[in-house]
Copies of this chain bind each other. A is one copy, B any other.
Amino acid sequence: MDLIEEIKKRSVHVDKGIEEYLPIDKPYELYKAARYLPDAGGKRLRPATVILAAEAVGSDLETVLPAAVAVELVHNFTLVHDDIMDRDDIRRGMPAVHVKWGEAGAILAGDTLYSKAFEILTHASGDPERILKCIDILSKTCRDICEGQWMDVEFESRTDVTKEEYLEMIEKKTGVLYAASMEIGAILGGASEEVADAFYECGRLIGIAFQIYDDVIDMTTPEEVLGKVRGSDLMEGKKTLIAIHALNKGVELKIFGKGEATTEEINEAVHQLEEAGSIDYVRDLALSYVAKGKELLDVVEESEAKTILLAIADYMITRSY
């Protein structure tokens, strides 16, 4: 099974869905700003997950396509607003929305994506009570994401962030939207509450694994593959789980928060982290989350979709960028 191919088979429909459900209408520049990031691509892992979750419980793509598009728009909404807050000027290799349309434009583009997500989800086909449940999940998820982003911003000015706090932050920033993708797909696909709950938990675990494995990638992937210099998290002084582990072990990282460093200094820091077991610690943790997440899928019978979902779970901790 070719995972990329299987995701692609579904994401082409998501692409079309975005065009159909979020047309560029008047005022044109607002909708161009709103469509800019969704149109720039991305892996479409979240909407593919919505679709695969539905397939895995015996439903199909058509039934959940609006929900899949809604989830992708929520994801893009959070990116647009986060980039303003984090002053990240580049996204998907292009100038961020606030760089192209100004900050006011980016706030509004994000708000528009957000509104549209709920509008689209409201029009999903199926039992109204199931749709309402999905809207409830998505709105709660958005609030979690706000809480996670708030914690992330707050952590920047703190030196005493604990492992538990970090894990809560990334659960909210990343885990819950994967969780919601799995659960929404299952609910609209007609699954029982037991299956929907298991899917939510599976998504939450692999979402957390996805995010903490990002920290590993930042340390281990060469610049020519990653598209940015190795160890950039360290230089920015980010309290990633690797940094928290190392700092707790008393490791003194010369480049931490220094903004820049030579290749030798970066290599030395990575070596220190390897010695302290910090990279292995985080890699193992990601692996254990994925293993638990995969087990939860035992709740449904074998199927092509289930195989692909298991492959996505593995992809979270085997990708190199």
Q: Which residues of A contact B (CB under 8 A)?
A: 26-27, 29-30, 81, 84-85, 103-105, 107-108, 111-112, 114-116, 118-119, 122-123, 128-129, 131-132, 135-136, 138-140, 142-143, 146-147, 149-151, 153-154
Contacts and interface: CB of A to CB of B under 8 A. Distances in A.
A141 to B, nearest CB: 8
Contact of A139 (B81, B105, B122): B122
A111 B147 contact: no
B136 A115 contact: no
Contact of A122 (B84, B105, B136): B136
B107 A85 contact: yes
B140 A119 contact: yes
Contact of A81 (B85, B107, B115, B136): B107
Contacts of A140: 115, 119
Given A84-B107, A122-B135, A135-B135, A116 B128 contact: no
Given A30-B150, A85-B107, A135-B135, 16 more contacts: A27-B147, A29-B154, A81-B108, A85-B103, A107-B107, A112-B143, A112-B147, A115-B139, A118-B135, A118-B138, A118-B142, A119-B139, A122-B132, A122-B136, A128-B132, A132-B132
Contacts of A114: 111, 114, 142
Contacts of A112: 143, 146-147
B107 A119 contact: no
B143 A27 contact: no
How many copies the complex holds: the figure is 2
A129 to B, nearest CB: 5
Contact of A111 (B30, B132, B142, B154): B142
A122 to B, nearest CB: 4
Contacts of A146: 30, 108, 111-112, 115
Of A105, A118, A132, A138, most buried by chain B (CB within 10 Å of CB) is A118
A98 to B, nearest CB: 11
Q: Which 10 A-B pairs have the closest CB atoms?
A: A85-B104, A128-B128, A118-B139, A115-B142, A119-B139, A115-B143, A30-B150, A122-B136, A112-B146, A128-B129
Given A116-B143, A140-B119, A151-B27, A85 B111 contact: no
Contacts of A147: 26-27, 30, 112
A19 to B, nearest CB: 17
A84 B84 CA distance: 12
A123 B123 CA distance: 18
13 contacts: A26-B147, A29-B150, A30-B146, A85-B103, A107-B107, A108-B153, A114-B114, A115-B139, A115-B140, A115-B142, A115-B143, A116-B143, A119-B139
